[in-house]
């Protein structure tokens, strides 16, 4: 990414950098790129108020080998810059503006982690993602796996449905003379109605996305 500066602005920067303090400025993201080795993202930033351009590296609150808390900036983001030298500039923070409305939960005082519209939020760990109320010990209740649950319930419903069918078809016993005893007609009617309800429940909660017992958006893994 090419770094563009006006000569007069370079002189201003040199004066600013005569001491060892880090200087702050506000800028507008013009272009963003991630290095091929994914070691960092950086952006071309127009610095206010003079609108000269610098290349600034993105910083992170937490970072490690393919880990940490990361989100690359976007074009037209308003950011706070830290100048260590005229050639060493860092994006310290995103600055909210009139387009970046706070989530209502944050307005109400809650802690909010929310991805940009159309983007996923990834919470990833090779060991485990623990979700709890913040007690003295780690939460120990395992999460239910939706796809496995659907498979299990589908199999149970199939077996239950098969059992109803056998009872409806009869025979349900052997009479005194050794003849098969058919299912009582009213019981056949009642069990047939139950079979219909079971089929409706399966369709509603296992087969229909809008009313399924599992989320169509949020995923986990075994």
Q: What is the mean pLDDT of residues 158-165?
A: 97
Confidence of residue 19 (pLDDT cuts 50, 70, 90): low
Measured in whole angstroms, how far is the alpha carbon of residue 119 from the centre of its chain?
8
Alpha carbons 100 and 161: distance in angstroms, whole number: 53
Confidence of residue 222 (pLDDT cuts 50, 70, 90): confident
pLDDT in tens, 179-216: 999 999 999 999 999 999 999 999 999 999 999 999 99
**Would you call the peptide bond into 171 cis, given omega within 30 degrees of 0 as the criterion?**
yes
Going from the C-alpha of 71 to that of each of 76, 94, 100, 181, the distances in angstroms are 15, 11, 15, 71
Look up residue 7 and give its two tokens. Answer: 């000569």
Q: Examine the pLDDT at 143 and tell me if it is beyond 50.
A: yes
46-71 burial code (b ≥16 CB/10 A, e <16): bbeeeebbbbbebeeeeeeeeeeeee
Alpha carbons 74 and 43: distance in angstroms, whole number: 9
Look up residue 137 and give its two tokens. Answer: 């010990």
Strands 88-95 and 78-85: antiparallel
Task: Check if the beta carbon of residue 82 is closer than 8 Å to that of residue 22.
Answer: yes
Average per-residue pLDDT in the chain?
89
pTM of the model: 0.70
Q: Give the count of beta carbons closer than 10 Å to the beta carbon of residue 203.
A: 11
Confidence of residue 4 (pLDDT cuts 50, 70, 90): low
Cross-strand pairs, 83: 23, 89
Match domain 7-95 to its CATH number in 2.60.40, 2.40.50, 3.10.120, 3.30.70.
Answer: 2.40.50
Alpha carbons 201 and 16: distance in angstroms, whole number: 71
**Would you call the peptide bond into 68 cis, given omega within 30 degrees of 0 as the criterion?**
no
Alpha carbons 164 and 168: distance in angstroms, whole number: 6
Q: Give the count of beta carbons closer than 10 Å to the beta carbon of residue 31.
A: 14
């Amino acid at each position: 990414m090419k770094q563009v500066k006006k000569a007069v602005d370079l002189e201003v920067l040199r004066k600013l950098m005569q001491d060892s303090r880090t200087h702050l400025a506000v800028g507008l993201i013009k272009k963003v790129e991630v290095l091929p080795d994914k070691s960092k993202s950086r952006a071309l930033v127009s610095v206010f108020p003079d609108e000269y351009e610098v290349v600034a590296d993105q910083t992170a609150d937490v970072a490690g080998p393919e880990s940490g808390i990361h989100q690359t900036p976007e074009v037209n983001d308003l950011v706070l810059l830290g100048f260590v030298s005229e050639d060493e500039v860092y994006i310290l923070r995103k600055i909210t503006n009139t387009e970046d409305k706070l989530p209502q939960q944050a307005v109400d005082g809650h802690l909010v982690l929310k991805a940009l519209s159309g983007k996923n939020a990834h919470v990833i760990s090779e060991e485990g993602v623990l979700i709890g109320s913040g007690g003295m010990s780690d939460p120990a209740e395992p999460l239910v796996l939706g796809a496995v649950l659907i498979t299990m319930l589908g199999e149970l419903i199939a077996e239950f449905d098969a059992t109803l069918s056998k009872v409806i078809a009869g025979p349900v016993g052997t009479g005194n003379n050794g003849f098969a005893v058919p299912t009582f007609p009213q019981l056949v009617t009642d069990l047939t109605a139950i079979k219909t309800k079971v089929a409706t429940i399966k369709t509603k909660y296992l087969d229909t996305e809008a009313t399924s017992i599992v989320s169509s958006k949020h995923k986990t893994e075994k």
